[in-house]
């Protein structure tokens, strides 16, 4: 599928009936072995493969862009950081809103002191229940493996198990061995803006509660409370995460007809002098005074309420400014890593394109 998308895009861009410049492989080891002139690797597999493929690619001399979350475990993330430092490769994780105007304006708002010192932050998302199911019992029967799916290769480092439609497609995010649940799928977007805005470090205490627990699947909904120690620039901070439809308590000063957040998701920063309320990734910023008066700084131009309907390359040039800046940041880092004496060119280089497709044939697992 990925190969078809790439070939269709370049056929249209070049005004041709067809294009066959993108090779496809099931096994990343074969790709790295055969495609010696590749500049970089983009890892867009399920979470449990991110770290291993990224590390192998960096050790093969390739620059790496990885889908979020960075990896499946904290240990894998630390290994990726270590190998990136050893190899000097340019790396990036796909948290595109780090370059968004909205995220930067939240930072500016809070730094301006408009609500005084920030003491607590609530962030909530309607995922997973609105997008994929969690809180599932482990499948007790096997389903036929679909034609074209290399199930053993797809499993990779995960324990062997029979194929089930409960795992694919897309619902793999719900399972411990494959995904990182709602917090791992969405937390990086929301926490990125928060981290840049108030300066987070590791929590000194974490408490959590959830709906019913399952041995192999993440719960349907959860709440996680982080206590962050004070720093020279801010007081102690309480950071509260809610998912699966759980929401924080509605601010008393918020008018009855005013929406809390945007589209069932949002962030509320509470300071000594008021609150800043935004959509999940910083859009639709509103300042709420203690008396309930609401203002919209920066004019709040119309912004997408659902930022996750991302641009797809086969649909043409519809990427947002943040998307483009995010990719360009990595590409320019890659150019600097290879050519430190040169300035960043205005035209992007021509890169060789390949894709990894684990659905074509059966290969032996190592």
Q: What angle do CA 309, 46, 196 make, to 5 degrees?
A: 60
pLDDT of residue 332: 87
State pLDDT tens for residues 73-119: 999 999 999 999 999 999 999 988 887 888 899 999 999 999 999 99
Residue 142 lies in a domain: no
Residue 270 tokens read as: 């509470």
Assess whether 124 and 24 both reside in one domain: no
Q: Which residues constitute the domain of residue 206?
A: 100-133+179-299
| Cβ atoms 39, 67 nearer than 8 A | no
Q: Which of 258, 274, 299 is the last residue of a domain?
A: 299
Banded model confidence at residue 145, pLDDT cuts 50, 70, 90: very high
| Cβ atoms 53, 32 nearer than 8 A | no
Can you give the pTM of this predicted structure?
A: 0.83
Number of independent structural domains in the chain: 2
Question: What percent of the chain has pLDDT above 90?
Answer: 66
Arithmetic mean of pLDDT over the chain: 85
User: In angstroms, rounded to a whole number, what is the distance separating the alpha carbons of residues 62 and 354?
Assistant: 13
The CATH number of the domain holding residue 293 is 3.30.360.10
Assess whether 90 and 200 both reside in one domain: no
User: Which stretch of DSSP H or E encloses residue 184?
Assistant: helix 181-198
């Amino acid at each position: 599928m990925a190969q078809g998308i790439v070939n269709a895009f370049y056929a249209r861009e070049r005004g041709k009936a067809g294009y066959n410049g993108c090779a496809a492989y099931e096994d990343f080891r074969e790709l790295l072995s055969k495609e010696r002139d590749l500049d970089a690797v983009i890892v867009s597999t399920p979470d449990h493969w991110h770290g291993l493929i990224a590390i192998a690619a960096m050790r093969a001399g390739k620059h790496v862009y990885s889908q979020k979350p960075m990896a499946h475990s904290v240990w894998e993330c630390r290994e990726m950081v270590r190998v990136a430092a050893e190899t000097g490769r340019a790396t990036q994780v796909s948290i595109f809103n780090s370059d968004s105007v909205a995220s930067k304006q939240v930072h500016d708002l809070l730094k301006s002191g408009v609500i005084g010192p920030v003491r607590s932050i609530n962030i909530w998302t309607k995922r997973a229940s609105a997008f994929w199911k969690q809180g599932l019992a482990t499948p007790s029967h096997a389903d036929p493996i679909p034609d074209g799916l290399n199930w053993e290769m797809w499993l990779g480092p995960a324990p062997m198990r029979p194929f089930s439609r409960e795992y694919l497609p897309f619902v793999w995010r719900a399972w411990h061995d494959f995904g990182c649940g709602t917090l791992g799928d969405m937390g990086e977007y929301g926490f990125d803006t928060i981290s840049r805005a108030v300066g987070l470090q590791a929590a000194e205490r974490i408490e959590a509660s959830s709906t019913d627990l399952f041995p192999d699947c993440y719960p349907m909904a959860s709440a996680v409370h982080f206590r962050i120690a004070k720093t020279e620039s801010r007081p102690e901070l309480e950071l509260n995460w809610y998912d699966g439809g759980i929401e924080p308590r509605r601010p008393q000063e918020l008018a009855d007809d005013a929406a809390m957040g945007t589209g069932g998701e949002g962030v509320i920063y509470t300071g000594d002098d008021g609150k800043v309320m935004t959509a999940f990734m910083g859009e639709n910023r509103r300042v709420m005074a203690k008396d309930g008066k609401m203002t919209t700084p920066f004019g709040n131009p119309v912004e997408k309420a659902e930022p996750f309907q991302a641009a797809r390359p086969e649909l043409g040039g519809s990427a947002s400014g943040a998307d483009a800046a995010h990719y360009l940041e990595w590409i320019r880092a890659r150019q600097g890593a290879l050519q430190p004496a040169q300035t960043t060119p205005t035209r992007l280089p021509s890169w060789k394109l390949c894709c990894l497709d684990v659905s074509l044939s059966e290969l032996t697992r190592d």
